Amino acid sequence: MSLPNTIDRITRHRTLFAILSGVLMALAFPTRPDHALAFVFGAPWAFVALIPLFVTLVSCSRRQGWRLGWWAGFTFNLIGLYWVAFTQGGGPAVIAGTVCMAAYLGLFWGAFTLLLVAMAQRWGPRSLAAAPVLWTASEYALSLGELGFPWLLLGHSQGCYPAAIQYAEFTGVYGISFWIVVVNVLLYQFVSALGSDVSRRWAIVALVAVCAPILYGWTVLENSPSVDHPRQGDESATRVGEVRVGGVRVGGVRVGLVQNNLGLAKWSPGGLEKSFESLERLSRSVVASQPQQPDLIVWPETALPCYLSLRPQCSRRVQNLVATLGTPILTGASNVEPSTGEPYNAAFLIRDASSPPVAYAKMHLVPFGERTPFRDSFAFLRDIDWTALTGDLGPAEFARGRERTTFELPASGATFAALICFESVFPDFVRNSVAEGAEFLVNITNDSWFGRTAGPYQHAQLTVMRAVENRRAIARCATSGISLFVDPYGRTFDRTPIFAEAVVSRELPRSRLLTFYTRHGDWFAQLSTAMVVVFAFLLVAGGRNKLLPGAGEAMRNSEDS
């Protein structure tokens, strides 16, 4: 059977092949290692996942294009974000909410395919070259506003391969997503041209497109400093943190992470004392097990189930521990807005036994999990009793933090920013924290809500991209895992298992250098968005032409349904 006939048969089952694209793209993101189908998952799927979707768009109308894109996006997000339905304490409404979330996120895929088909109708097969630009703009739109959720950006799928993501220091994660779609387009052209003289040319171009960023990444990694521990007793070994980054020598900071594996139990009667017992015991073990005194010990998000600023006995207990250990502690806990009484999800740095804690209130809250979106704009949203719909799980209705905090360690003078859980998902948010003077980053989180699912693994992997974008080391401390360290080049160290007590310590590099991305932000995504606006403006001129190419044959003109 000839390839054109094969593509024609595929277009008769468009929806199934659109769903196949969603499935393949979901397989590109991490799952839990003990999953029965873990061997099927792998980041390379991202580079071919869109090909079935492109095939289904051949000779389809704009309405069909939107529908096919939505089905692909809905499938992708439902599989990729299934773990939201497993949120501990939730009821059936949380499962329904997960389906609704996948349906909402699928709209961005639908917008992508709608514009792609509309452009093909107007300008013909050459419009496929705009697919990477359209995709990048749709991902950027996904990151904006109170409903922003850039969790499954295509670029995040490649976080397991540091060599593939090094140029993110210029473009951010959106440049990695752009590259993935470029490769999909080129491979689609190659498949469409099979049996013709141009197929070899498409194969060569696709191979170059795949290899060029990876070769660049290998070169960068080959010339990058190591952050692994020097051998004990090696007098000539340079301290891990004392490295040259971009030609500038920076000192190191030793950070200890405490994973006390106390999730929902800390909110039960006696939970505060259980939390203190485990955190104190594990913190002492961090100090005792290391030849060098840590510069900082990190406890997870909401490690202390109390309002730290309102409970002097709690803050004094942490201060006493700091004095005993001789090491500052960063801990997650709740805080209160003095003027309104609204609660904050906060991080506190306790530096010594006499100074008051320095606090940072989380600024980017989880929609529906930590705050009802748009509740400040629509009064009726403030009156909804979410717990009646979701069981024990309702929005905490935290207030938003108003300003960033750059913490400073007293002994070394090292500065860092704290990213609380969901904040690590947003590229622009993180790069602004770095731009304000953070020499390294600390991400505290509580992923125990999602059990033994893919959620904690996905969250840990996307942290890698934030390190590369800004060339900042990251210490990630999670209640029940995954805790780890990420160096400025996206290499991970000391990864802990989930749902187990663990302590790890490592010396990380500090840097004040700002990458192109840190200085200029989401310029690449914004440029793509501006181009899409121009495309949309030009489309109003109307007109029709051939649709996406399929095996070299001229495609039929389409009628709007």
**Shared-domain flag, residues 209 and 313:** no
Residue 373 inside a domain? The answer is: no
| CATH code of the domain covering residue 470 | 3.60.110.10
Mean pLDDT to the nearest integer, 4-26 = 80
Strand bridging mode 415-420 / 440-445: parallel
Residue 240 inside a domain? The answer is: no
Mean pLDDT to the nearest integer, 463-477 = 97
**Shared-domain flag, residues 157 and 256:** no
**More confident call, 503 vs 239:** 503
Mean pLDDT to the nearest integer, 20-39 = 95
pLDDT at res. 5: 57
* Rounded Cα distance, 531 and 526, in Å: 9
pLDDT at res. 87: 82
pLDDT at res. 40: 95
| Crossing angle for the helix pair 92-123 and 523-539, to the nearest 10 degrees | 60
Sign for the pseudo-dihedral over CA of 398, 402, 408, 410: negative
Three-state DSSP class for 185? helix
Mean pLDDT to the nearest integer, 157-177 = 97
Confidence band of 239 (pLDDT split at 50, 70, 90): very low
**pLDDT greater than 50 at residue 232:** no
**More confident call, 58 vs 188:** 188
Three-state DSSP class for 126? helix
Nearest to 177 by CA among 207, 156, 163, 161: 156
Mean pLDDT of the chain: 86
**Shared-domain flag, residues 282 and 348:** yes
* Rounded Cα distance, 251 and 155, in Å: 31
Residue 384 inside a domain? The answer is: no
pLDDT at res. 437: 94
Strand order in the sheet with 474-478: 406-408, 415-420, 440-445, 474-478, 484-486, 492-493
Helix-then-strand count for the chain, H and E: 16, 15
**Shared-domain flag, residues 269 and 411:** yes
**pLDDT greater than 80 at residue 31:** yes
Strand bridging mode 329-336 / 304-307: parallel
Q: Which of 109-118, 231-240, 318-327, 385-394 has the lowest mean pLDDT?
A: 231-240
Confidence band of 343 (pLDDT split at 50, 70, 90): confident
- The range of the structural domain enclosing residue 217 comes to 3-223+521-539
Confidence band of 215 (pLDDT split at 50, 70, 90): very high
Mean pLDDT to the nearest integer, 205-211 = 96
**pLDDT greater than 80 at residue 38:** yes
pLDDT at res. 439: 96
**Shared-domain flag, residues 87 and 43:** yes
Three-state DSSP class for 496? coil
Mean pLDDT to the nearest integer, 297-306 = 94
Nearest to 365 by CA among 148, 95, 522: 148
**Shared-domain flag, residues 126 and 260:** no
For residue range 303-341, list pLDDT tens digits in order.
999 888 888 889 999 999 999 999 999 999 988 877 777
**pLDDT greater than 70 at residue 345:** yes
**Shared-domain flag, residues 30 and 107:** yes
**Shared-domain flag, residues 158 and 280:** no
Max mean pLDDT among 84-93, 278-287, 386-395 falls in: 278-287
Residue 66 inside a domain? The answer is: yes
**Shared-domain flag, residues 21 and 100:** yes
Confidence band of 197 (pLDDT split at 50, 70, 90): confident
Q: Which of 133-147, 330-344, 515-529 has the lowest mean pLDDT?
A: 330-344
* Amino acid sitting at position 87: T
DSSP 83: G
* Rounded Cα distance, 69 and 48, in Å: 16
pLDDT at res. 561: 36
**pLDDT greater than 80 at residue 258:** yes
For residue range 487-513, list pLDDT tens digits in order.
999 999 999 999 999 999 999 999 999
Mean pLDDT to the nearest integer, 373-379 = 68
Residue 544 inside a domain? The answer is: no
Residue 329 inside a domain? The answer is: yes
Mean pLDDT to the nearest integer, 552-561 = 38
pLDDT at res. 432: 96
**Shared-domain flag, residues 348 and 441:** yes
Q: Which of 252-266, 378-392, 407-421, 516-530 has the lowest mean pLDDT?
A: 378-392
Confidence band of 218 (pLDDT split at 50, 70, 90): very high
**Shared-domain flag, residues 336 and 447:** yes
**Are 319 and 352 in contact, with CB atoms under 8 Å apart?**
yes
Residue 19, preceding peptide bond in cis (omega within 30° of 0): no
Strand bridging mode 474-478 / 484-486: antiparallel
Mean pLDDT to the nearest integer, 394-408 = 80
**pLDDT greater than 60 at residue 229:** no
**Shared-domain flag, residues 266 and 405:** yes
When divided into structural domains, the chain yields a total of 2
With pLDDT > 70 as the criterion, what percentage of the chain qualifies? 85
* Rounded Cα distance, 336 and 296, in Å: 25
